[in-house]
Amino acid sequence: MTSTTRRLLLGAGAAAPFAFVRSAVAQIRRGDELTVGVWGGMQERILREFVATPLEQQHGVKINFVLGGTPERRARAYAERGRPSFDIVYLNIFESRQAVRDGVTQAPTDRVANAANLYPVAKLGGYGVAFNPVTIVYDRRAVASPMTSWKDFWRPDLRGKVIWPTYPGAQGTAALLMAAKIWGGSENDIDPAFRQIAALKPFAAIQGSQDQLYTMFDQQVGAASVEFGSFTRAYAESRNPNIVIADPVEGQAIATNVACITVGTQKQALAEAWINLHLSPECQRAYAERIYYSPTIRNLTLPADLTAKLVMGEEAVSKLVDFDWDVVIRNQPRWSSRFTREIAG
């Protein structure tokens, strides 16, 4: 009897209009707990300092971090669709838009005050908290002349020295799509990309993460790859001054880190407060200063020498190469399988 009643209540809750549910979760109460799935490392530290600690002190709430890579987090959010154990998950640009369409995470709204300062491109499929463009990075000692175009990967002096990024993943996706673009294809005509990338074989290696790439650069396994400019700049400045972050004529491929509130969270107001703080100038400044993440908000000014290392301002942001992510997402399984067979395998 009890279970029937409970099921009825749960059913009613799920079927109720969002506004009705919202009234129950619209305020932050002391003792509330917010569960945030995010990457570890410096990112976690900045979030603790600028977002978690202020919220905990101000509202008497508790923030739980679940650290990990995007695939595990995303798989779990999908498995728990509608009844999430996460309140916020951090995804990348294409995963976040797909998650909104699949009913796993919420589309952005104006209830997050600081979202009004976001560039329009950072307000799709969640709240973009950092631009993290993907570009060409190379070891200046191992190339005949500076790399200025995505086509330079096909130069004779780089034969056998290219470290290609694995697909899917932000770097691999950008590399595949840029290859299509420069060789007369597009996300709707991917064949030229696969043909041309296969022509680059043998690769010096395939890289699966920035850490792996930097190890490869340390060991001089290869000469050039495709990677986030942000992390690579930190790596080049702290460890390997021979590494250059290129600004190719065709542009850098857009990539963003996106904060997504799950559908069905019981901590809606707290989750929105979290994202509001994450989009505050203070937090965005720390991102820029400590890990060279480019701000997604327009109301932040930074010293000129730092700005020069970032993508800042309407013009620079509009130059980032964007793609039709619906097409990319739809084709991901097929392209992934093709990549494994034709490129990596």
- Residues forming contacts to other proteins in the complex (CB under 8 A) are 33, 35-36, 39-43, 64-69, 71-72, 74-76, 78-81, 83, 85, 102, 166, 168-169, 203, 205-212, 214-216, 218-221, 231, 235, 238-239, 332-333, 336, 340-341, 344-345
In the complex, least distance from residue 74 CB atom to other proteins, rounded to whole angstroms: 8
Spatial separation of the C-alpha atoms in residues 59 and 32, rounded to whole Å: 9
Closest CB to other proteins among residues 44, 250:
44
Taking the CB of residue 344, how many other CB atoms lie within 10 A of it? 14
Burial grade of 267 (CB within 10 A; 0-12, 13-18, 19 or more): buried
In the complex, least distance from residue 80 CB atom to other proteins, rounded to whole angstroms: 6
Closest CB to other proteins among residues 207, 256:
207
Closest CB to other proteins among residues 71, 313:
71
In the complex, least distance from residue 83 CB atom to other proteins, rounded to whole angstroms: 7
Cα-Cα end-to-end distance for the chain: 57
In the complex, least distance from residue 251 CB atom to other proteins, rounded to whole angstroms: 26
**Closest-CA residue to 171 (of 138, 195, 135, 141):** 135
Spatial separation of the C-alpha atoms in residues 255 and 275, rounded to whole Å: 19
Burial grade of 106 (CB within 10 A; 0-12, 13-18, 19 or more): buried
Closest CB to other proteins among residues 123, 161:
161
273-312 burial, b at 16+ Cβ within 10 Å, e below that, comes to: bbbbbbbbeebbbbbbeebbbbbbbeebebeeeebebbbb
**Closest-CA residue to 137 (of 249, 248, 293, 212):** 248
In the complex, least distance from residue 315 CB atom to other proteins, rounded to whole angstroms: 31
In the complex, least distance from residue 343 CB atom to other proteins, rounded to whole angstroms: 10
Rounded to 5°, the CA angle 266-268-269 comes to 130
Residues 6+ apart with CB under 8 A from 80: 86, 262
Closest CB to other proteins among residues 53, 318:
53
Taking the CB of residue 61, how many other CB atoms lie within 10 A of it? 20
Closest CB to other proteins among residues 35, 117:
35
Closest CB to other proteins among residues 307, 336:
336
Closest CB to other proteins among residues 209, 307:
209
Spatial separation of the C-alpha atoms in residues 184 and 303, rounded to whole Å: 39
In the complex, least distance from residue 36 CB atom to other proteins, rounded to whole angstroms: 8
In the complex, least distance from residue 75 CB atom to other proteins, rounded to whole angstroms: 5
Closest CB to other proteins among residues 22, 201:
201
Asked whether 256 and 93 are in contact (CB, 8 A), the reply is: yes
In the complex, least distance from residue 215 CB atom to other proteins, rounded to whole angstroms: 4
